[in-house]
Chains A and B, each alone.
Chain A
Amino acid sequence: MRVAGVAPILGPARLASWGFSPAERPLIMITLENVTKTYKNSTVALRDANVEIAKGEFVFLVGASGSGKSTFIRLLNKEETPEQGHIYVAGKDIGRLSGWKVPYLRRNIGCIFQDFKLLPTKTVFENVAFALEVIGRPRSVIDSQVPAILDLVGLGHKSDSFPTELSGGEQQRVSVARAFVNRPLILLADEPTGNLDPATSVGIMKLLDRINKTGTTVVMATHDRGIVDTMRRRVIEIDRGSIVRDQARGVYE
Chain B
Amino acid sequence: MPVKFDYLVRETTSNLGRNVTITLASIMTVAVSLALVGASLMLRSGVENATKRWQGGIEFVVFLRTDATQQQIDSLQNDLDQSPEVAKAVFVDQQQAYSEFKTLFADSPELIDSVTAKDLPPSFRIEPENKDVDAVESLGLTFEGRSGVDQVVFASKTIRLIQQLSSRLTVGIFVIAAFLLGAAGLLILNTIRMAMFARRREIEVMKLVGATNWFIRVPFMLEGLVQGLIGAFVAIGALAAFKPFFQKWLPSAQDIPLVGGFQVSGSEMTVIFITLGIVGIAIGAIGAGIAVSRFLDV
Nearest Cβ on chain B to A79's Cβ, whole angstroms: 8
CB atoms of B209 and A178 under 8 A apart? yes
Measured between beta carbons, the chain B residues less than 8 angstroms from A142 are: 3
A107 with B209, Cβ < 8 A, contacts A119-B201, A119-B202 known: yes
**Which residues A79-127 have CB closer than 8 A to chain B?**
99-100, 103-108, 111, 117, 119-120
Partner of B208, one of A99, A100, A111, A120: A111
A117 to B216 Cα, complex, angstroms: 18
Q: Nearest residue in A to B211 (C-beta to C-beta)?
A: A134
B13 CB–A CB distance under 8 Å: no
Interface string of A125-136 (1 = CB under 8 A from B): 000001101111
Partner of B3, one of A99, A105, A108, A138: A138
CB atoms of B205 and A136 under 8 A apart? no
Measured between beta carbons, the chain B residues less than 8 angstroms from A119 are: 201-202, 205
**Which residues B199-221 have CB closer than 8 A to chain A?**
201-202, 204-213, 215-216
Nearest Cβ on chain A to B194's Cβ, whole angstroms: 17
Measured between beta carbons, the chain A residues less than 8 angstroms from B157 are: none
CB atoms of A106 and B209 under 8 A apart? yes
Nearest Cβ on chain B to A117's Cβ, whole angstroms: 6
B7 CB–A CB distance under 8 Å: yes
Measured between beta carbons, the chain A residues less than 8 angstroms from B207 are: 103, 106
B1 CB–A CB distance under 8 Å: yes
A136 with B3, Cβ < 8 A, contacts A117-B201, A119-B201 known: yes
CB atoms of B3 and A139 under 8 A apart? yes
Partner of B7, one of A104, A105, A117, A133: A133
Interface string of A157-185 (1 = CB under 8 A from B): 00000000000000000000011001000
Q: Nearest residue in B to A178 (C-beta to C-beta)?
A: B209
CB atoms of A136 and B215 under 8 A apart? yes
CB atoms of B205 and A117 under 8 A apart? yes
CB atoms of B1 and A136 under 8 A apart? yes
CB atoms of A104 and B2 under 8 A apart? no
A137 CB–B CB distance under 8 Å: yes
Measured between beta carbons, the chain B residues less than 8 angstroms from A133 are: 3, 7
B4 CB–A CB distance under 8 Å: yes
Measured between beta carbons, the chain A residues less than 8 angstroms from B205 are: 117, 119, 130-131, 178
Nearest Cβ on chain B to A178's Cβ, whole angstroms: 7
A-B contacts, CB under 8 A, total: 62
Measured between beta carbons, the chain A residues less than 8 angstroms from B208 are: 77, 106, 111, 117
CB atoms of A134 and B204 under 8 A apart? no
Q: Nearest residue in A to B214 (C-beta to C-beta)?
A: A100
CB atoms of A135 and B210 under 8 A apart? yes
Measured between beta carbons, the chain A residues less than 8 angstroms from B1 are: 136, 138
Interface string of B165-206 (1 = CB under 8 A from A): 000000000000000000000000000000000000110111
**Which residues B75-107 have CB closer than 8 A to chain A?**
none
A183 to B212 Cα, complex, angstroms: 18
A136 to B216 Cα, complex, angstroms: 12
CB atoms of B209 and A135 under 8 A apart? yes
Measured between beta carbons, the chain B residues less than 8 angstroms from A131 are: 205, 209
B interface residues (Cβ-Cβ under 8 A, vs A)? 1-4, 7, 201-202, 204-213, 215-216
Nearest 9 A/B pairs, CB to CB: A107-B210, A106-B210, A134-B211, A131-B209, A103-B210, A103-B212, A134-B206, A111-B208, A135-B210
Task: Supply 6 further A-B pairs (C-beta < 8 A) apart from A103-B213, A134-B206, A134-B215.
Answer: A103-B212, A106-B208, A130-B202, A130-B206, A135-B215, A136-B4
25 contacts between A and B (CB under 8 A): A99-B213, A103-B211, A106-B208, A106-B209, A106-B210, A107-B209, A117-B201, A117-B205, A117-B208, A119-B201, A120-B201, A130-B209, A131-B209, A133-B7, A134-B206, A134-B209, A135-B209, A135-B210, A136-B1, A137-B3, A138-B3, A139-B2, A139-B3, A178-B209, A182-B210
